[in-house]
Amino acid sequence: MRLPDPAESRVRKTTVSPTETSSSTKREIQVEVAAEEVTRETETLIRKYQKLARIPGFRLGHVPASVIRQRFAEDIRSQVVDTLVPRYFRQEVEKQGLVPVSQPQVSDLHVQEGEPLRFKANFEVLPEIKVEGYKELRAAKPIISVGDEEVEDSLKNLQEQHATFVSVEGRTLADNDFAQVSLDGRPADGQGQPVHMDDLLVEIGGSNTMPEFTENLRGRSVGDDRSFAVHYAADFSDPRLAGKTILYTVKVQAIKQKSLPELNDQFAKELGDFAGLDEVRQRLREGIESDRKRQAERAAKEKLMAELIERNDFELPEALVERQIDIRLERGRRALMAQGVKAEDIKKIDLNRLRAAERERARQEVKGSLLLDRIAEEENIGVDEEEINREVEALAVQARQSPEAIRARLTREGVLDRIRDRIRNEKTLDFLYRQSA
């Protein structure tokens, strides 16, 4: 005769069923925990309260259980629920082989001393995914070529980067001159902080120079100052200036001309360990070619992912989509802060509108990640500790901390698993790209 499992005696009834929507990602379980287990947990809590409770008329540690029950009834009830519901929720989903990807929503909770504890829990799980057609995916492998003109353009950019500026006296500013100025600016609407800059170089008539600066500085002498307004377009590259009108006061400190170094072997040697200018050209050609290959590979992989997603349709857990939206918004917030946008301005952004705008992209990212994860399982693609260590060491160098400290923080914040997943997805996408030839 089979002896009953003690755990089974404590859980009287457990059922698992889909929700009314018959969703492939939503589940509902109903759990009934035996009254004896509720009583046992209640009595354990009462004994703890007896040791700690300070109640007038009773010595510490000698408060009768009946008083504890009366005085702390609600607190004890809440703690019984907080202890037993998560415990038996986990036990039941493990028994059923379910892996929740969302926090359970508990309903129909019934808890009374001396009676079974009953509750329902609704949560999301990963759908069954059978990846179709990934071995038939094909990506074009373009032929990469770099023209001599492109190499010369890159060489001229290097020449520009090593330019020097020589002061000119006895005349006014003209086109192609550089005005060395001090600058003060303030928003015309009074919203935002004023700015001050010294020794700023402004190219008169330069392609990247705002026309208002050229018009107001052309023909000016050293010591002159000008006040004028500049209106920036709504799509201006710097979000701090986009759509704003700034009132500037600019004073000319010096007039300078740009002097370019000669393109010869001496220039090559000053750049680094190069025998001559031809070797610099060869290195530039290799760099352009390498960049083009990376861009082509990135575009091909994006096309492969788009086709993979299109070929495989399945329901997504909304919890994962919402989590990915959170990640995208946090990434965007950090990018804005890195560009100098203030926290108070970021808080003014309509988050509901942003979440709606990010939803479809987040859905595609979640779907792609789940598909890559499934392919990785099919193809036995994994991530070893050496790969994780290299990632941690790179982050440690960037943060100027020890790898041990970085690993501890990443583990504590739950980021290490995300890094592992990202590396595996990248390796799986590399596999798809290689086998698509």
- Residues 220 and 86 both lie in one domain: no
User: Among 234, 259, 284, where does a domain finish?
Assistant: 259
- Residues 36 and 82 both lie in one domain: yes
Give the C-alpha separation, 117 to 113, whole Å.
9
Whether residue 405 lies inside any domain: the answer is yes
Q: State the alpha helices, DSSP H only, in 211-256.
A: 211-217
- Residues 37 and 101 both lie in one domain: yes
User: Among 232, 259, 286, where does a domain finish?
Assistant: 259
- Residues 109 and 147 both lie in one domain: no
CATH number at residue 69: 3.30.70.1050
CATH number at residue 253: 3.10.50.40
What Rg do the C-alpha atoms of the chain give, in angstroms?
Answer: 34
- Residues 255 and 290 both lie in one domain: no
How would DSSP label each residue in 68-116? HHHHTHHHHHHHHHHHHHHHHHHHHHHHTT--B-S--EEEEEE--TTS-
- Residues 394 and 419 both lie in one domain: yes
- Residues 25 and 109 both lie in one domain: yes
Whether residue 155 lies inside any domain: the answer is yes
**pLDDT score for 179:** 95
Whether residue 321 lies inside any domain: the answer is no
- Residues 155 and 185 both lie in one domain: no
- Shortest CA distance to 115 belongs to which of 84, 71, 87? 84
Q: Are 245 and 233 in contact (CB under 8 A)?
A: no
Residue 119: strand pairing partners = 31
Q: Which helix (H) or strand (E) holds 230?
A: strand 225-231
Q: Tell me the C-alpha to C-alpha distance, in Å, between residue 204 and each of 149, 200, 211, 250.
A: 27, 13, 9, 14
Q: Determine phi and psi for 14, rounding to 5 degrees.
A: -140, 125
User: Among 124, 153, 179, where does a domain finish?
Assistant: 124
Whether residue 72 lies inside any domain: the answer is yes
pTM of this prediction exceeds 0.95: no
Domain that holds residue 175: 164-259
- Residues 296 and 251 both lie in one domain: no
Give the number of domains in the chain: 4
- Residues 226 and 286 both lie in one domain: no
**pLDDT score for 54:** 79
Q: Convert the pLDDT of each residue in 85-103 to its tens digit.
A: 999 999 999 999 898 999 9
**pLDDT score for 164:** 93
**pLDDT score for 52:** 80
Whether residue 178 lies inside any domain: the answer is yes
- Residues 33 and 87 both lie in one domain: yes
Give the C-alpha separation, 256 to 381, whole Å.
59
Q: Convert the pLDDT of each residue in 368-378 to its tens digit.
A: 999 999 999 99
- Residues 218 and 74 both lie in one domain: no
Whether residue 171 lies inside any domain: the answer is yes
**pLDDT score for 273:** 86
Whether residue 366 lies inside any domain: the answer is no
Whether residue 375 lies inside any domain: the answer is no
**pLDDT score for 1:** 29
Residues of the chain with pLDDT under 50: 1-21
